[in-house]
A = this chain, B = another copy of it.
Amino acid sequence: MEIKVLKKLMAAQEADAEISRKFFSDMNVAAVNMMSSPGSGKTALLEKTLEALGGEIGAAVVEGDILTTLDAERLARFGIQTAQINTGPFGGDCHLEAAWVRSAAEQLNLSRVDLLFVENVGNLVCPAEFNLGVDANVVLISVTEGEDKPAKYPIMFRSCDLCVVSKIDLLPALDFDMELLEKNIRAANPGLRVMKLSAKTGEGVGEWLDWLRGMSASKKQKI
């Protein structure tokens, strides 16, 4: 009986994801879901991204946190629209769900938005299990987190289209084996594209921006 309940729940999630997919498509928006452990640098990368893209691509952010609007405030400084989801009132949920993200996105004026970033709750486990109906799922992993994370959290790495290895400016201070990380990533998801960057120094950010330009170009441009 428990399994039936779970199946029903997941079927409802998938149906919701399909509605979101249609919504993003109708709005002509490329939606990018960013997931990682707490503190891997999602917000820092978004700050760097918004600064670099400037008016080149219309961007907006749906921000997911259990509590606080700290990240949304950091990003609103760039003059973009942000919608905050706080899961705290719903039991402190550890992930975002398709319906919540869509409700938040519906509050934004998307007429000039090409790229909609979804910054998920900081958690390397649960967010991977919820299909948000987005155009791309991205996992960030910082080099301070160790090489073993793809082996320990394979569902996350399997559910993503891109893996961003962040904070590479810290490599000189760490005993970090990049080859081992890449081997573990390939074992979890052989086809997963990997980019290495530092939002602090800007190293490698160009490749990320080009990838975003490609995501945006797959939709009809609005600016």
Contacts and interface: CB of A to CB of B under 8 A. Distances in A.
A202 interface: no
Interface stretch (A24-32, A52-60, A62-70, A97-105): A62-70
B66 A146 contact: no
A6 B91 CA distance: 10
Interface string A109-133: 0000000000001111110010000
Q: How large is the interface on A (under 10, 10 to 19, 20 to 34, 35 or more residues)?
A: 35 or more
Given A67-B151, A122-B152, 9 more contacts: A38-B124, A38-B152, A39-B145, A65-B152, A66-B155, A67-B152, A68-B152, A122-B124, A144-B167
Contacts of A223: none
A166 to B, nearest CB: 10
Contacts of A170: 144, 170, 173-174
